Amino acid sequence: MKRWLAAEHINRLSANPAHCTRTTLPLDIDLRRPFVPEGYTQLYYTPIYTTLNFEQRLRYNQLFGLRINEYIMMLEADLVERLLTPLLRLPQIVADAAFVHAMTTMMEEESKHFAAFAALNRACRPDLYPLGKDRLFSRLPAWTQAMFWMVGALAGRYAFALWYLMAMEESSMAMAREMIRHPETETLGALDLAFVSVHREHMKDEARHLHIDGRMIEQCMGSAGKAKRVNAWLFQAMLRGITRPTRSGSGVMVIHQLVREMPELSSRKEEMIQAILALEKNRAFQESLFNRRMMPVTFQVFDHTPELANLGERMWGYDRR
């Protein structure tokens, strides 16, 4: 099992600028370049993707890259504060002043990340993100609003969303590493350098946050018993809404925007939407969401949690060890 950094060590790192995310970077966007690796988009896993021409695939990639940034922003604005605020009131957390400081710093950093990704999206497409509008693809549907409300309401006793938070933070780091190691995409050319630079910087804080997540899981979720079983059940129920694309979801919103910008695709809109919805049962896509290559630390935590022994039934990419 991975050993987490001590809170004092985490705090020393967070006070060292060399280990902290720079959130004010030059944002010279080249709209002739893709924003993200193609395998991080949804249509890539459908037969339709290869039937689109270069310009259509490029525009789709760019729009989906904006959607990924919004998703990171959504987690940092809507999930982190709702989850960590009640946890900071727990006696076992209050008793550890150094860890309280680490958690509080993490919340402050996540707020800065939100602003950095909002600025990146605005630099990419000021027409879609005028000042005062930070979200286009992450307007929360009713089920997501209910889920985040439940996370906050239950966090004091059932902090199941910590597993999800850890997975998503490690996933964002994996994508950044992929962008750095493989700056050339499969069919669209080299990634935009400014887009890569923001995600590379984001990794610095997330590397520390992963240790905070691990310590919170240990301190707030207990080692066994009924509460841990309830946490496991709630977490797997939460996954159902995350891994199943819906008509009101952000992936379909990207399709609507693509068609608005490229009306020659209007006749194929429903075909593309149906292809996105079919990803619920697409193993390659499902495994791309959660897998050990992207999330080795999170998966090790799952491995050491007996209550998650059947997690692979909901998380297809999970190979229990």
How confident is the model over 151-197, as pLDDT tens digits?
Answer: 777 777 788 899 999 999 999 999 999 999 999 999 999 999 999 99
Question: Do residues 92 and 156 touch, judged by C-beta distance below 8 A?
Answer: no
- Judge residue 100's burial from the number of C-beta atoms within 10 Å of its C-beta, 0-12 exposed, 13-18 middle, 19 or more buried: middle
Residue percentage of the chain with pLDDT more than 70: 97
Q: What is the pLDDT of residue 272?
A: 98
| Residue 15: partners with Cβ closer than 8 Å, 6 or more residues away | none
CATH of 31-313, one of 1.10.510.10, 3.40.50.300, 1.10.620.20, 2.60.40.10: 1.10.620.20
Tell me the two tokens of residue 311: 């997690």
| Residue 237: partners with Cβ closer than 8 Å, 6 or more residues away | none
The number of C-alpha atoms within 13 Å of 225 and in the hemisphere containing its C-beta is 6
91 three-state secondary structure: helix
Average pLDDT, the chain: 93
Q: Is the pLDDT of residue 234 over 70?
A: yes
Phi and psi (nearest 5°) for 184?
A: -95, 125
Q: What is the pLDDT of residue 79?
A: 85
Measured from the Cβ of residue 86, the count of other Cβ atoms closer than 10 Å reads: 18
Confidence of residue 143 (pLDDT cuts 50, 70, 90): low
Q: Could you give the CA distance from residue 191 to residue 81 in angstroms, rounded to a whole number? A: 32
Tell me the two tokens of residue 295: 């999330």
* Measured torsion, CA atoms of residues 66, 175, 141, 121, in degrees rounded to the nearest 10: -20
Confidence of residue 140 (pLDDT cuts 50, 70, 90): low
Q: What is the pLDDT of residue 314?
A: 92
Q: Tell me: the pLDDT tens digits for 26-63?
A: 999 999 999 999 999 999 999 999 999 999 999 999 99
Q: Tell me: the pLDDT tens digits for 53-106?
A: 999 999 999 999 999 999 999 888 788 888 899 999 999 999 999 999 999 999
User: What is the model's pTM?
Assistant: 0.94
Lowest mean pLDDT among 19-23, 80-84, 304-308: 80-84
Q: Kindly state the helix (H) or strand (E) to which residue 303 belongs, with its residue range.
A: helix 296-303
Sign of the alpha-carbon torsion through 94, 99, 102, 103? negative
Q: What is the pLDDT of residue 156?
A: 75
Backbone conformation region of residue 89, classed left if phi is above 0, alpha if psi is from -120 to 50, else beta: alpha
